[in-house]
Amino acid sequence: MHAIIKVLTNLVNKHFMAINAYTLMLLISCYVLLSWAGLLLTNELHLTENVANFFYYLVTTSSTVGYGDLSPTSDHGRLFSGLFIIPCGVGLFALSVGRAAVFFTDFWRTNRRGKQNLNLENHIIVIGINSARTSHLLEMLKREEQGRREVVVVSCEYEESPFDSDVHFVRVNSFTDAIEMERSNLSKASAVIVDTDLDDVTLTVSLFVAEQNSDAHLVAHFEDPIKRDLLHKYCPNSECISSLSTELVAKSVMDKGSSFIHSELVSAHEGQTQYSIEVPSGVDAFTIESVYSPFKAQYEAIIIAIQTKNTGCKINPSLDTVLLSGDMIYYIADERIIDLDWKRITGN
């Protein structure tokens, strides 16, 4: 008996899965047309006199709800409903619900397993999942971005996404496979973070990313400063980050509380945090001195560094430093400054 049930189950599953959406739509269309014709021939005009009544009758009958407010009145009408409308309708209704359930289940599994092709632009891609850092990194990115940019995680190791559904997940066999990586829309990403468990892999993947999307802001994490410097040599616009734990230990011994200050500067949850803002086009040249006090007075922000096209990054710049459109200002504030009034700040 068990073997017979198993054979029947496999047979039903085989034919059920073989019915695609187009075949199902054809079957439903034939069922509706034949039901309409049959009710007309059996003189059940009250069921076909308008589309609403006919549709309502088919749905309530096929779904086995059967309110009884609409039903055939003649013997021929009852026979036609009992022999065709009810059995065929129940079967097609169950088939439609089952196919819909399969579709949404497959869609959910595809997204959880990272098999989909993403159609995103100006998004952030995190390549590699580090058990010690990635979860915290994603929390910080989500808080900072606040929905402005989508976050995509690409992994070779995980079969399913270990993160919440608000983080996109892409599963690839190789971080350097251009076709697979393009499923994350790498070419249209605005920022890429490379953080694998091995510095050699991080270096290789970072060079690959720089080749595929030279416009994206590339950030890579290294444990080995030699590989960090090597990437920065070939990709001078990239930001190569290494662990500062040893330096912080030494600094905390010499200057008590340094580790606390460092944590507060990069904290995305509370306390003062370091942000950056770009001088927009159309703003006339101005000096640090002209905006230093307004930044503090109007936004409770302190300028700590700048980055210009000519001199690069400079911490604690002199007050007579001139800034132009496209230069970056780094500052400390409780929250990021949004919609800064440059004309009011610079006095231009």
Q: Phi/psi of residue 37, each to 5°?
A: -65, -40
* Contact present, 291 and 346 (Cβ < 8 Å): yes
pLDDT of 259 above 70: no
Could you say which architecture CATH assigns to the domain 124-243? Answer: 3-Layer(aba) Sandwich (3.40)
Specify the higher pLDDT residue, 271 or 95. Answer: 95
| Homologous superfamily, domain 256-346 | Regulator of K+ conductance, C-terminal domain (3.30.70.1450)
**pLDDT, position 9:** 56
Distance CA 175, CA 156 (A): 7
* Contact present, 246 and 225 (Cβ < 8 Å): no
Whole-model pTM: value is: 0.61
Could you say which architecture CATH assigns to the domain 2-112? Answer: Orthogonal Bundle (1.10)
Task: Give the model confidence (pLDDT) of 178-208 as tens digits.
Answer: 999 999 999 999 999 998 888 899 999 999 9
Q: Is the dihedral of CA 249, 251, 254, 258 positive or negative?
A: negative
**Sequence ranges of the domains in the chain:** 2-112, 124-243, 256-346
Highest averaged pLDDT of the listed ranges 42-46, 243-247, 251-255, 288-292: 288-292
* Contact present, 307 and 271 (Cβ < 8 Å): no
